[in-house]
Copies of this chain bind each other. A is one copy, B any other.
């Protein structure tokens, strides 16, 4: 995007007028800044519910594919900041289906709105949108590409729940091959001094590309195909879903699936102070009995997501 400086905004604020496309944009200082603002947002929401920081600002919330969770989170974030939302969920039926290009769609909608949140099925769509738009674009997931606000909220959850990241042992379990969530989070975690356990069936292992990045960053990594050896020392258990469709044979799926289901029995072996996270939606990979365990952080994780998105919206609009 090009610079855009309406009267009264703070030109010197970090991220003012910027696009949020990838976690690679965020260094340690940036993360500290984002999370500082997110903590203030949490304080405001907890104490008074909303604030009129973005009163008069409009968010175009463009979802080319449905995602109730992410869409609602951004809507709530904008509304809790006193701003308004143009919800655009039905793009499949509308001008887009008449053949309009993504650059034209964003250049039209930025004439109405002050900031654009974009969910798109194609890798790189957000970068394309940002190239053509003069208002800030926030990537809300572009296919198997990135979903930076998810990774930021995951990291903020860890900090908000366990006070720090350095020194922690993080265990990722489930489908580590196709989950963009664990890829982006791994990249962010490699900025810190942590230990990483990667637990998956061999055919759903973490891609080499990410393992190389982790090695380059000097992050100690342990690969395993069961939680048994690592659950006792885990501070953060990040669970993702193992989908039957990923396996060629149903027998292969049946033989491994139980090893990746988190139940109260799993947590009996875990620390008293640790957290279980999940990007949701959850199906059977965490049993509902776990929900009542105070270590189950996945619904609180949703709330942290709203604070992080409030922070990002305020930041790119120069109000944080």
Interface residues of A (CB under 8 A from B): 6-7, 47-50, 55-58, 60, 66-69, 72-73, 75-76, 79-80, 84, 86-91, 93-96, 98-100, 103-105, 107-109, 111-114, 280-283, 288, 291, 299-300, 302-303, 306
Contact = CB atoms under 8 A, between A and B. Distances in A.
A114 B49 contact: yes
B281 A76 contact: no
B100 A302 contact: no
Given A100-B282, A280-B104, A109 B57 contact: no
Contacts of A60: 72
Given A7-B48, A58-B80, A89-B90, 6 more contacts: A58-B76, A66-B90, A68-B90, A68-B95, A104-B282, A111-B299
Given A47-B7, A100-B280, A72 B109 contact: yes
A160 to B, nearest CB: 13
A79 B88 contact: no
A109 B306 CA distance: 11
Contacts of A94: 66-69
Nearest to A134: B299
Copies of the chain in the assembly: 3
A76 B86 contact: yes
A161 to B, nearest CB: 14
B50 A303 contact: no
Contact of A280 (B50, B108, B112, B306): B108
Q: Which of A87, A112, A113, A282 has the most CB of B within 10 A?
A: A112
Contacts of A113: 76
In the A-B complex, the 6 residue pairs with the smallest Cβ-Cβ separation, listed nearest first, are A76-B112, A50-B56, A100-B281, A79-B84, A111-B303, A66-B94
Contact of A302 (B76, B112, B114): B112
Contacts of A72: 60, 86, 88, 109, 112
A66 B79 CA distance: 24
A86 to B, nearest CB: 5
A108 B69 contact: yes
A288 B132 CA distance: 11
Given A56-B50, A111-B303, A112-B306, A75 B68 contact: no
